Structure 1
Amino acid sequence: MAVSKLVKYLLFNFNLLFFLGGIGILSFSAYVRINKAAFQITDELLPAINLLIFVGAMTMAFGFLGCCGALQESRCLLAIFFMSLLVMFLMLLSVGVLGAISRTASSQEIVKKHMKDLLPLSEQPEDFQLAFQDVERTSFCCGFFVGHLDWGNATVVPDSCNCTDTSRNCTVLEAREIFATPCMTYIFTWLDRLSETLMGIAFGFGMLMILGMIFSLVLLCQMNSGHTSLI
């Protein structure tokens, strides 16, 4: 039985998608990991981000391996590619599970406890303060739990808390209007969106991996049948 050219080049195209997708996953997760303060990434979410970085790197590497195996019709490379896809699929399932766990009520309590350890905000490193001030400006909020009090005394409350939109919930603090809404609500909203992104990436590439495994198995079976007929 001859090797189907259609299956061969379909597998090559899927591997090309894996390779490009691996670059995308690696770039996105590395960017989030490097800028974890800006994205409000807690220690509870870091395992999912680190695992996603590893999955992205492996997806890129094995996508290249699969392309070579498909073009050269190498049973060894295709078998390695199939097992690699299976392992990465299980790892992506782990990312999805971690993303789902991060949305539970118990994990939110852990995040709250972590945030409380950062109070008062004025005593945190400068890079963290600057990153959080960006959150306050863009989310129209101030502090974590109780507004400006989370920064300490009134003299250290940054300009990022200034109420620049009068339609927002604002309060007066020593002749200046500041946002009265704490940022915790917006932080949890962001964490939910990040979790949905992680699970969406895991689901999308999981489906591609299943298709890649099916095509690699079909091609392997055709190659084995052809080898047997020659014998």
Structure 2
Amino acid sequence: MVNLAAVIKKPAETEEMDLIDQAVRFINERVAETYIRTSIEIGEYILTYFFNDDIELASSKNPRKSKSYQLLCKRGDLQVHHSTLTIMVRVAVQERLFKQENIDTSRLSYSHRAELIKITDPAEKISLAQLCIDQQLSTRALKALLSKRSKKSEGIQELNSGELSKHYLDSIDHLFKVIKLPSQHMDFGVLKNLDTKIRHDMLDKTEQLIDVLTFVQDHLSNMKSMLLEADREYPVEYTEA
């Protein structure tokens, strides 16, 4: 028998829960707003003082070619990873475009903006930003749309489910085989005695690998979420032969 007293909340309890819900929404919104504002401010600062407002240079896929910016990214006491800093710069450049075109970006999350920087064509970028705003697209929906457009533009044929799963599993197996780091190179005594040029080359390669692994981690996290969701919605019952 259902205990109604446990199910039905008292007026005071309901008011308290409403208050907590409102507080959570308020705090989350303010944190998001602060992060967006701060990230754009940092991006603008870098754009102004390290790229001399050269939008083309800052928007390039390798903005670290700026000598001073490269030195900044290598500072050990910098609390922002260089890949995150690069995104901030490109988002700041993008914000200038949106402002110029009178696009109200207040309903775009930072994740939306970080996805939109992948679009190089200004007209397409504006169109997609407006689509996100008008249709309230989630970041996941935007990612899917960008992925679909990318495949279409590159002429990549869609794979059927069997081909796709085999391709995915083969890619994971290949990744495990390729990434083999020699443990002795992790020893500080070895690293400090290396030639400076070699050490800097290793540093660059390490940073590039971090970027690749960050991308792979995001991709695998999305894949894991989709697999778990598919498992919940479409469970398969296995029977013994």
TM-score by length of 1: 0.27
Instruction: Choose between structure 1 and 2 for higher RCO, CA contacts under 8 A separated by at least 6 residues.
Output: 1
